[in-house]
Amino acid sequence: MKSQNRRKIGFAAVIFSALVFCLVVSAFPGSPEENWKKIFQFCGLGNFSDCADKSPFSLHVLNVGKADSIIAECGGKYLLIDGGTADCGNQVVNYLKRRGAKSVDYVVNTHPDSDHIGGLKEAISSFPVAHYLCPDIPAKIISNTPEYHDVQLALKSKGIKSEHPAAGTAFNIGNAKAEVLGPLRKAETTNNNSIILKITYQKTDFLLMGDAEKEEENDLLASGEKLAAGVLKVGHHGSNTSTSQQFIQAVHPRYAAISVGKDSNGLPKLEVLNRLYNANTAIYRTDISGTIIFLSDGKSITVKTEY
């Protein structure tokens, strides 16, 4: 009898806890994503990205919709790759501040399309920036947008000169090495002039493709460059113009990250997802998982997500 009473009390406690939890959730105004963040903070659990504090190297693929913004962090040094659209600027700045950034060692704009360059104005205006890297794109195809001009004005006001790194250029982010693999030539589209970065931390590698399409992928394959990487940031938001079967075979990634927004014109494409799936690659998408955080201890990579 006592055992039955205990079971009843336990069941009632579960129901009561669930009701209290629902009340707590409903007490927070805003989107479900914002509510989850507030609930974790309310419970004293902080944010998922706080786990990166204990990792010597972390790569953060930010949830900026159908756009790109990536932060690499190692030993208190920061690399910002793209800034999403202009309305993502404050989000990127706040994320960097939350990570403890007081300055940014390298800002890389993979190419000047508005969904990659837009938010960089805020980042450049908000932090001391040691280096700004961008591709040397022919003037006739450069994205002549307000976002592009805003970034140029921000650079000028801070006295920062644009650097155009050639393939083979390498630089350090703390104890991590970033190497420019492409573009290998001047192409006829901004996407295929994307700066491609391979970041290496000890025995772990991360290949970041910008919006590179199959044309630029084929250039890399023909170059004989070692492309193998544990993490592939999929090119062009999962469009079928990128991430060919041959390219996936060369990279052989364990993880793939796709930066994409909800209702983004059918992206990522099913063909791309199938190619990655058939290569036994675990796929992470910002529209489903939110910000994707890859942590490396130098030997292995683990994944956390934060909405």
| Per-residue pLDDT reduced to its tens digit, 24-48 | 445 545 444 445 444 444 444 445 5
Cα–Cα dist 116/131, whole Å: 17
Q: For 5, what's the count of Cα atoms within 13 Å in the CB-facing half-sphere? A: 2
Q: Please name which of 39, 37, 44, 41 lies closest in space to residue 23, comparing C-alpha atoms.
A: 39
pLDDT tens digits along 72-121:
999 999 999 999 999 999 999 999 999 999 999 999 999 999 999 999 99
Cα–Cα dist 207/45, whole Å: 32
Domain range summary for the chain, segments of one domain joined by +: 47-306
Place of tokens 């390298």: 106
In angstroms and rounded to an integer, the radius of gyration of the C-alpha atoms of the chain is: 21
Provide the CATH number for the domain formed by 47-306 in this structure.
Answer: 3.60.15.10
H or E element in which residue 177 lies: strand 176-182
Cα–Cα dist 95/191, whole Å: 26
Tell me the one-letter amino acid at 244. Answer: S
Cα–Cα dist 82/68, whole Å: 6
Cα–Cα dist 134/165, whole Å: 7
Q: Name the band, by pLDDT with cuts 50, 70 and 90, for residue 143.
A: confident
pLDDT tens digits along 213-256:
999 999 999 999 999 999 999 999 999 999 999 999 999 999 99
Cα–Cα dist 48/290, whole Å: 11
Q: What is the pLDDT of residue 263?
A: 74
Q: Is the dihedral angle over the CA atoms 31, 37, 42, 43 positive or is it negative?
A: positive
What pTM value is reported for the model? 0.85
Cα–Cα dist 176/63, whole Å: 23
Instruction: Mention every residue, 6+ apart, whose C-beta is less than 8 A from residue 3.
Output: none
Least confident of 11-25, 169-183, 219-233: 11-25
pLDDT averaged over every residue in the chain = 89
Cα–Cα dist 24/21, whole Å: 5
Instruction: State mean pLDDT over 66-73.
Output: 98
